[in-house]
């Protein structure tokens, strides 16, 4: 991990209520926590965040590795928001909060009596972010939404894979993680605005919108030509050659994305005749004849291993790289240098791996100050902070605030 500094982290003193489960909401809140925010994870008693019990293998404790990788630097309190006693404590937490993130289906928070209009009366400066599958309004708003549905219905799956293959989703949850990032961008923008106006606001973030936002090249191609976007495998609509190529022992990736690189590629692989080939003279022509182009290049690439080609192309200044597995990426010299695997001490699991920080701040680097919390681990601590004493606590407990 990066070396701590004496300066406070950028979001130190900012309180976030994480009323979310599974991925987009928890991941968004973890990003804020990594930057120093006091993130309080409010979970249903008994089960907690659904992700605690997900995945098809067991750890030492009851929390999954997925949960452990999306909830560091948070405090956990269990509250039953279906009870008046639970809501009473929740409202008191809201008074102390700057930001709230929830990802229930549209209408659920209103039904519980903890929606934005209600909470705004309690705390006018609250920045309230609602994450959902399809947004808070629109014909699909009431549909349950997960990453798979968002990828399918946004068009992402229609351009993923190869032309003659079945539907394929992106290998990583682009809608979930994308929505988490866009939500964080909206939250921080609204928070900066709040510091000037004193007023919070409502943020509507959806997996569907976020997945569509990634469609820049495909949508540009469609709007420019009127042709529906289609599957290209590892290639794209911007330039060619720019994709995976087959070598003697497997595949590697490379890209000659402009005329200079294209000419250099042809010269350095011993195929100068391709420069003047009428089918490949310009980038538009290379795109139009991409399949033929790939066959021509692979005649040469099949003469050496992928490692040999990557080394040779990089030596000539032509972008290229191996196709790594995740273990290879994390264990690579570069992955280690970038600290993309970190270790966190956990009271049940011992030392647990976590994915490292994706951006690095020079003066106030993100830090791990708390392990992913056990369910309800900080309930007593937070009740004391709210000034709830023994007699009041007994009444709240009797009212079902902490029971499923």
Please give the positions annotated as active site.
176
Burial annotation 283-298 (CB, 10 A radius, 16+ → b, else e): beebbebbeebbebbe
3-state secondary structure of 342: strand
Give the separation between CA 209 and CA 182, rounded to whole angstroms.
10
* Burial status of residue 393 (CB atoms within 10 A of its CB: 0-12, 13-18, 19 or more): middle
Say if residues 4 and 34 touch (Cβ distance below 8 Å). no
Burial annotation 149-160 (CB, 10 A radius, 16+ → b, else e): bbbebbbbbbbb
Nearest to 356 by CA among 384, 330, 383: 330
Say if residues 54 and 137 touch (Cβ distance below 8 Å). no
Alpha helices per DSSP H over 198-282: 207-213, 216-225, 259-268
Give the separation between CA 65 and CA 53, rounded to whole angstroms.
9
Full strand arrangement of the beta sheet holding 320-322: 242-247, 250-255, 320-322
- Helix or strand run (H / E) with residue 333: helix 333-337
Give the separation between CA 248 and CA 245, rounded to whole angstroms.
10
Say if residues 256 and 297 touch (Cβ distance below 8 Å). no
Give the separation between CA 201 and CA 304, rounded to whole angstroms.
58
């Amino acid at each position: 991990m990066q070396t701590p500094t004496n300066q406070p982290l950028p979001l130190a003193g900012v309180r976030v209520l994480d009323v979310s489960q599974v991925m987009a909401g928890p991941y968004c809140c973890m990003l804020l926590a990594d930057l120093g925010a006091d993130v309080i994870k409010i979970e249903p008693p008994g089960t907690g965040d659904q992700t605690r019990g997900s995945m098809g293998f067991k750890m030492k404790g009851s929390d999954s590795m997925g949960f452990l990788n999306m909830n560091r630097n948070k405090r956990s309190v269990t509250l039953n928001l279906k009870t008046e006693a639970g809501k009473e404590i929740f409202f008191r937490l809201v008074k102390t909060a700057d930001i709230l993130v929830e990802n229930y289906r549209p209408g659920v928070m209103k039904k519980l009596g903890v929606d934005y209009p209600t909470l705004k009366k309690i705390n006018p400066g609250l920045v309230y972010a609602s994450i959902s599958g399809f947004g808070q309004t629109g014909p699909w708003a009431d549909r349950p939404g997960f990453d798979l549905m968002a990828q399918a219905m946004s068009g992402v799956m229609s351009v993923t894979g190869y032309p003659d293959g079945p539907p394929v989703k992106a290998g990583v949850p682009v809608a979930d993680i994308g929505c988490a990032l866009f939500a964080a961008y909206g939250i921080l923008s609204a928070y900066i605005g709040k510091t000037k106006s004193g007023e919070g606001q409502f943020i509507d973030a959806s997996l569907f919108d976020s997945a569509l936002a990634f469609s820049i090249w495909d949508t540009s191609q469609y709007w420019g030509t009127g042709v529906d976007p289609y599957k290209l495998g590892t290639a794209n609509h911007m330039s060619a050659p720019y994709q995976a190529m087959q070598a003697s022992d497997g595949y590697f990736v490379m890209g000659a994305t402009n005329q200079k690189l294209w000419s250099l590629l042809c010269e350095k692989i011993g195929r100068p005749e391709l420069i003047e080939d009428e089918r490949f003279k310009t980038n538009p022509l290379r795109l139009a004849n991409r399949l033929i182009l790939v066959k021509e290049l692979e005649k040469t690439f099949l003469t050496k291993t992928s490692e040999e080609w990557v080394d040779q192309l990089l030596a000539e200044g032509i972008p290229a790289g191996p196709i790594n597995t995740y273990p290879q990426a994390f264990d690579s010299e570069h992955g280690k240098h970038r600290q993309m695997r970190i270790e966190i001490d956990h009271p049940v699991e011992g030392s647990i791996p976590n994915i490292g920080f994706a951006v690095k701040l020079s003066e106030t680097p993100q830090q791990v100050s708390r392990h992913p919390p056990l369910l309800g681990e900080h309930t007593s601590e937070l009740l004391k902070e709210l000034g709830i004493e023994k007699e009041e606590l007994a009444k709240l407990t009797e009212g079902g605030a902490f029971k499923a």
